[in-house]
């Protein structure tokens, strides 16, 4: 009897297993919260915040004269506070809402103040077809840190000569009128460039081309600083430490953009590191050939350029593509910084355009060349570039870049003109001579104790 009972149980189990498997498969298709993915993106969010302050603040702050270092640190620091408040009140909704004020260009106020977003809601945005998702509010916070750092990058173009009040007004207007529409166009599932097939894994167009060409417009509008004599960085160790912090933070910037702790994140981290390392070495080579010495600042700048260049491509290319993009980005940006800027005489103070604008452009275009379908094999995507038989992707990347350039450059000029009309945008020569630390903030970075 015991054997018969066991056999009956076994038969019952075997006959019900297909039904159980079908039910499991059906339930498994539903998105679920992934603790691992959530933990990774939480960490990545903190790393991207770290990139603005202290990393960018130290990198830029070390390069200016000592009487302006606090103004740079202040601008970086206040950007976090200012943009964060705008983002949670209405900025995120305008950038990523699934309903729109302007179809394909701008969202609406559906999610203003995170209205309608519960803490238990899963993100409607995800990269691969994995069912493991992150919370919606975490996705919004991760995107917040991208919104924070992008206008802060422009600081490098107007360092030492913009009024603090005008900086605040400019940042608010630029975020709302330039950054948010471009983010919606490229990253929102309703965006027209997204639907066209634009590839921008972590911000080559939305962040770097956008900020870089806005930086060029700002440098041209404000004009040169009042002194013409070249000056060395007041604290080169600050700048190098800042560059190292940026390299570290960029693993969260690019790796976190997978929105999962998976192979895509690992690939993005690997390609990010590879491109930065390659660009640093290429810059060192050009430094030696052109200037006779390999400089610490040159190697640090080269690494940052490599990070910028690989940003749009990090989740679409292999190591081979990362090597090529890092080398090309470094070569182009070295040429822009060392020859083009001197030839045309625009005062891009800390080379925000030369490094971010041109590095982002190189990376965006080369994503359309080196995107390799093997990267997304098993992740529900099939992205390829010119080198893998898809020349159309290069055309899409070129169009996306042109839209980014036009919006950033022309839109920034309009914003500068309006801010200048109401507030005046540049400090007077006397204020510039004294320095912005004292005149704008009534503080000194360095004091002598008797």
Does the bond joining 142 to the residue before it have cis omega, within 30 degrees of 0?
no
What gap in Å lies between CA 331 and CA 263, rounded to an integer? 30
Say what the pTM is.
Answer: 0.93
- According to DSSP, the residues that pair with 32 across neighbouring strands are 132
What gap in Å lies between CA 408 and CA 354, rounded to an integer? 15
Number of C-beta neighbours around residue 119 at 10 A? 9
**What pLDDT, in 10s, does the model give residues 291-339?**
999 999 999 999 999 999 999 999 999 999 999 999 999 999 999 999 9
What gap in Å lies between CA 304 and CA 163, rounded to an integer? 27
**What pLDDT, in 10s, does the model give residues 66-88?**
999 999 999 999 999 999 999 99
What gap in Å lies between CA 230 and CA 228, rounded to an integer? 6
Q: Mean per-residue pLDDT for 144-157?
A: 98
Over the chain, what is the mean pLDDT?
A: 93
Number of C-beta neighbours around residue 111 at 10 A? 22
pLDDT, position 10:
40
**What pLDDT, in 10s, does the model give residues 154-182?**
999 999 999 999 999 999 999 999 999 99
| Burial (CB count within 10 angstroms: exposed 0-12, middle 13-18, buried 19+), residue 197 | middle
Which residue is listed with tokens 């009042």?
226
Q: Mean per-residue pLDDT for 379-397?
A: 96
The tokens of 270 are what?
């690997």
Contact predicate 148/83, CB 8 Å: yes
The tokens of 269 are what?
């981290």
What gap in Å lies between CA 128 and CA 146, rounded to an integer? 20
CA dihedral (367, 372, 377, 383) positive or negative: positive
Task: With H, G, I as helix, E, B as strand and everything else as coil, classify residue 162.
Answer: strand
Contact predicate 336/349, CB 8 Å: no
240 φ/ψ angles, rounded to the nearest 5 degrees: -70, -40
What gap in Å lies between CA 278 and CA 216, rounded to an integer? 26
**What pLDDT, in 10s, does the model give residues 102-135?**
999 999 999 999 999 999 999 999 887 678 999 9
pLDDT, position 449:
62
Whether residue 367 has pLDDT greater than 80? yes
Contact predicate 372/316, CB 8 Å: yes
Number of C-beta neighbours around residue 82 at 10 A? 18
Task: With H, G, I as helix, E, B as strand and everything else as coil, classify residue 392.
Answer: helix
Q: Which domains does the chain have, with CATH numbers?
A: 38-441 (1.10.3430.10)
């Amino acid at each position: 009897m015991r054997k018969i009972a066991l056999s009956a149980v076994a038969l019952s189990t075997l006959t019900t297993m297909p039904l159980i498997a079908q039910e499991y498969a059906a339930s498994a298709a539903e998105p679920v919260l992934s603790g691992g993915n959530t933990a990774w993106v939480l960490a990545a969010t903190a790393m991207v915040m770290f990139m603005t302050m202290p990393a960018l603040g130290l990198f830029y702050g070390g390069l200016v004269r000592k009487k302006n270092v606090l103004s740079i640190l202040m601008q970086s620091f206040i950007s976090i506070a200012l943009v964060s408040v705008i983002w949670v009140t209405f900025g995120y909704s305008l950038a990523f809402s699934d309903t729109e004020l302007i179809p394909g260009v701008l969202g609406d106020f559906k999610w203003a103040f995170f209205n309608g977003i519960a803490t238990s809601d899963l993100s409607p945005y995800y990269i691969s077809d994995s069912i493991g998702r992150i919370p919606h509010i975490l996705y919004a916070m991760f995107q917040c840190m991208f919104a924070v750092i992008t206008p802060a990058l422009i600081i490098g173009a107007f360092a030492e000569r913009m009024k603090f009040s005008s900086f605040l007004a400019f940042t608010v207007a630029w975020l709302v009128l330039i950054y948010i529409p471009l983010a919606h166009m490229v990253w929102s599932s309703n965006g027209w460039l997204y639907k066209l097939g634009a590839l921008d894994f972590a911000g080559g167009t939305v962040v770097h081309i956008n900020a870089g060409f806005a930086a060029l417009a700002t440098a041209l509008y404000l004009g040169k600083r009042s002194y013409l004599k070249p000056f060395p960085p007041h604290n080169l160790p600050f700048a190098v430490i800042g560059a190292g912090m940026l390299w570290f933070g960029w693993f969260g910037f690019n790796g976190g953009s997978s929105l999962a702790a998976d192979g895509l994140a690992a690939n993005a981290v690997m390609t990010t590191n590879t491109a930065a390392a390659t660009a640093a070495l290429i810059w060192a080579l050009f430094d030696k050939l052109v200037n006779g010495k390999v400089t610490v600042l040159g190697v640090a700048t080269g690494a940052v350029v490599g990070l910028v260049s690989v940003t749009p491509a990090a989740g679409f290319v292999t190591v081979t593509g990362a090597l090529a993009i890092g080398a090309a980005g470094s070569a182009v940006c070295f040429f822009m910084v060392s020859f083009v800027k001197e030839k045309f005489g625009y005062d891009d103070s800390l080379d925000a355009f030369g490094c971010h604008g041109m590095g982002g452009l190189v990376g965006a275009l080369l994503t359309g060349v080196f995107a390799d379908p093997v990267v997304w094999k098993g992740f529900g995507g099939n992205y390829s570039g010119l080198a893998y038989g898809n020349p159309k992707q290069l055309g899409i990347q070129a169009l996306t870049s042109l839209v980014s350039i036009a919006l950033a450059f022309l839109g920034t000029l309009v914003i500068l003109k309006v801010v200048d009309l109401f507030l005046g945008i540049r400090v007077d020569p006397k204020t510039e001579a004294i320095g912005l630390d004292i005149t704008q903030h009534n503080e000194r970075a360095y004091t002598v104790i008797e």
